[in-house]
Amino acid sequence: MSVDIKPYLQYLEKEKRIPKDEACALIVEAIKSSVEKSVMAGQNVEVTADPATGKLEAHVLYSVTDSVSDPLREINPVAAGLLQAGAAVGDQVRKPINVADLGRIAAKTTQQLLNQRFRKIEKDQVFQEYKDKVGDIVTGTVRRTERGNVIVELGTAEAVLTHKERCHGDEFRTGDRIRCLLLEIREDPQRGREFVLSRANDGFVRRLLELEVAEIADKTVTIAKMARDPGYRTKIAVDSSDPKVDPVGACVGARGARVRNIVKELGGEKIDIIRYHKEPLKLLEEAIRPARPRNVRIDERNRSIHFEVDEEDMRIAIGSKGRNARLTSKLMGWGLNIAKATHAPESVEAQLGEKATRMAEQLGLPFDLVAKFVQLGLTELSVAANVTAEELQDTGIPADEVQTFLAAVAKAAKA
């Protein structure tokens, strides 16, 4: 007697995404295995099913013999003739089984086997769906918290965000939508396949930048170096393959819109974006701005840099709990030894020279040109911005140099 399993096959194909032929083979295998291990133990059972029609049939197979020694597998010619006309010794005959009468034990065993097989298929399907997303950002819904770990539903997969992979200050409630980096798909001997998420990994910030900044996505701007203290601060050194593209400006965005979106996603974590330089000293100057390194000594053998900063810049250079200095060191890959400058320049000339150097950097003009105006007392941009060309006519400085200086001052004042 046959049984119609077509509706079940349709359900598995639609809801579980298991093809009919594959589901049919699994059902056949499960029924055969459960029946042979329970109600028909010791017998040779044959189960067949047609994926197209959904028709399922089961038979017990017997070998026809004159001398029956195993009644569970052998049958005499007389009894065989009742099952199959003309059956002779050496033939194999089939006795139909009413699948519906196999019993509660066989049905339960079959269901357990099918559930195990289908769960494995579903897990394999989920793995295939997400294996290429490792290292990418995924969005999910917080379902629950277990022993400090946040369980996140990604849709077809369930993932875990451990306490270690969370940022300082991350707090989530059931139902919250969160974005994370799919860090890895881990094979656990006891718990099976485990999807591991992270918000503390450097790659999370990197991918956020790639999604937010088109110039990074198209490789015009590259992230050369990165150092992160999750939840507190991240330092990023960026470079550009196109001299017309300002890498820092591209990442920051108009009025800081791009970096602001990333800071919001990270719960207020500070993001420092600087221009990358291969030369350690230039990279150091960028990384600790607005503090200025003085008396720099580079030990290339031990990859360490010793420098001093003014007393008022000491707090900036080191940062809260030493975080700025530590991240700068990690970003550069050099050890840093920071000391407080012990004395100011000894002479007025030295002081003026220092101010001329600083102003020349601000204006982008040669030191010798700027020094002429600093000698006149124009030691700060705020002072120089209020001076006119007429007031500098009798100073002995050529008119073209005056115009160059005042134009640079005006441009810097507007920036």
Do residue 14 and residue 86 come from a single domain?
Answer: yes
pLDDT, average across residues 276-294:
89
Name the DSSP letter for residue 255. Answer: G
Q: Which residue is associated with the tokens 């995924």?
A: 138
Same domain, 174 and 195: yes
246 and 307 belong to one structural domain: no
Read off the pLDDT of each residue in 130-149 and give the average, rounded to a whole number.
90
Residues 13 and 123 grouped into a single domain: yes
Q: Do both 270 and 281 map to the same domain?
A: no
HSE (side-chain half, CA atoms, 13 Å) at 31: 25
- DSSP-derived letter for residue 52 is T
CATH value at residue 213: 3.30.300.20
- Could you tell me if 94 and 28 lie in one domain? yes
- Whether residues 83 and 10 share a domain: the answer is yes
The domain boundary, picked from 200, 223, 258, lies at 200
* CATH at residue 194: 2.40.50.140
Contact 335, 284 (CB under 8 A): no
Claim to verify: residue 100 and residue 148 sit in the same structural domain? no
In this predicted model, what pLDDT tens digit does every residue of 232-275 receive, in sequence order? 999 999 999 998 999 999 999 888 899 999 999 998 999 999 99
Q: 354: pLDDT confidence band, cut at 50, 70 and 90?
A: confident
Other CB atoms within 10 Å distance of the CB of residue 336: 20
C-alpha to C-alpha distance for 171 and 145, rounded to whole angstroms: 11
The residue from 100, 128, 156 where one domain ends is: 128
Using CA atoms, how far apart are residues 19 and 115, in angstroms rounded to an integer? 16
Residue % of the chain over a pLDDT of 90: 34
3-state secondary structure of 16: coil
Strand partners of residue 229:
233
How many domains are contained in the chain? 5
- Asked if residue 296 has pLDDT above 70, the reply is yes
In angstroms and rounded to an integer, the radius of gyration of the C-alpha atoms of the chain is: 38
Retrieve residue 78's tokens.
Answer: 């007389």
Q: 210, 150, 216, 138: which is closest to 181 by C-alpha?
A: 138
Q: What is the CATH number of the domain that holds 74?
A: 3.30.1480.10
Give the tens place of pLDDT for each residue, 141-162: 999 998 889 999 988 788 999 9
| pLDDT mean over 380-401 | 83
Position 110, amino acid: T
Please report where in the chains the tokens 């990418």 appear, as a residue. 136
* Mean pLDDT, residues 79-100: 85
8 and 121 part of one domain: yes
What gap in Å lies between CA 158 and CA 140, rounded to an integer? 9
Residue 19 shares a structural domain with residue 93: yes
Alpha helices in 218-347 (DSSP H): 247-252, 257-265, 280-287, 311-318, 323-332
For the chain, what is the largest distance between any 2 Cα atoms, rounded to a whole number of angstroms? 135
Note whether 224 and 144 are same-domain residues: no
Q: Lowest-confidence range among 118-127, 355-364, 381-390?
A: 118-127
Question: For 11, how many CA atoms within 13 A lie in the half-sphere containing its CB?
Answer: 5
Same-domain check for residues 229 and 314: no
Question: What confidence tens digit (pLDDT) does each residue in 314-343 have?
Answer: 888 898 888 999 999 999 999 999 988 765
Domain enclosing residue 165, as ranges: 134-200
Secondary structure E strands in 246-359 = 270-275, 294-299, 304-309, 335-340
**pLDDT higher than threshold 90 for residue 209:** yes
